[in-house]
A and B are shown apart, each in its own frame.
Chain A
């Protein structure tokens, strides 16, 4: 059974800090997704990656297939980055197995 583990569960940062959220998964996957969930509940897709690194604005996602590990980095964090960040592993069929999420709070 594939499990997805995230750390930390909760993270508080000061505005401007560099943030890292980690994700590990237990079996082979077709892709790894990073998602953002806002307090209202809506889920936004940030990245889908199967190798290497992707960057979008201040967000960077990396994945190491051999180590079954991925990280999400936020540079120059801002209070509007406050949300729950979720790592999800895609199976061969494309359905997602979700981690429990990391609740990020960025203080001004």
Chain B
């Protein structure tokens, strides 16, 4: 059964460093999303992506964040200069008519 994959599963970085979180959505899906979940809190929407451009973004998704679909299969989330408060679980999802399919998540720890 096709699934969304994410790498790495856990990333530890120093404050101020750039990180890139990678996702491979399900191949025939057209809509892609990034969500995050700070420990103990609810999942929050970051950004949606369709037709090679951002279709919607939340207030959280400021200039420090960017997304890219560099090669038609990968979908990446870049955080330019990480802050302590960026520590969270980041989920990628892709969507078809019947619903959204989530990746297993990347746990980002900023020290």
Report A's interface with B, CB cutoff 8 A: 31, 33, 35, 41-45, 47-48, 86, 88, 91, 93-101
Given A94-B48, A94-B95, A95-B33: A45 touches B42 (CB 8 Å cut-off) = no
User: Chain B's nearest CB lies how many Å from the CB of A76?
Assistant: 25
CB distance from A55 to the nearest CB of B (A): 15
Size of interface on B: residues with Cβ below 8 Å to A: 23
Q: Is A96 in contact with B105, judged by CB distance below 8 angstroms?
A: no
The 9 A-B residue pairs whose C-beta atoms are closest, nearest first, are A48-B99, A43-B102, A98-B43, A100-B42, A93-B56, A95-B48, A95-B45, A45-B99, A98-B42
Per-residue A-contact encoding for B36-60, CB less than 8 Å = 1, 0 else: 0100011111001000000110000
Which B residues fall within an 8 A CB radius of A? 31, 33, 35, 37, 41-45, 48, 55-56, 89, 91, 95, 98-102, 104-105, 107
Q: Given the complex, which residues of B lie within 8 Å of A35, measured CB to CB?
A: 102
Q: A95-B33, A100-B42 are in contact. List 14 more A-B contacts (CB 8 A).
A: A31-B99, A35-B102, A41-B37, A41-B104, A41-B105, A43-B105, A45-B102, A48-B100, A86-B42, A88-B43, A94-B33, A96-B33, A96-B35, A101-B42
Q: How far is the CA of A86 from the CA of B43 in the complex (A)?
A: 9
Chain B residues, CB < 8 A from A47: 99
Closest Cβ of chain A: how far from B20's Cβ, in Å? Answer: 20
| Docked pose: A31 CA to B91 CA in angstroms | 20
Contacts of B107 in A (CB 8 A): 41
Supposing A95-B45, A97-B45, A101-B42 touch, asked if A42 and B102 sit within 8 A by C-beta, the answer is yes
CA distance A67 to B31 in the complex (A): 29
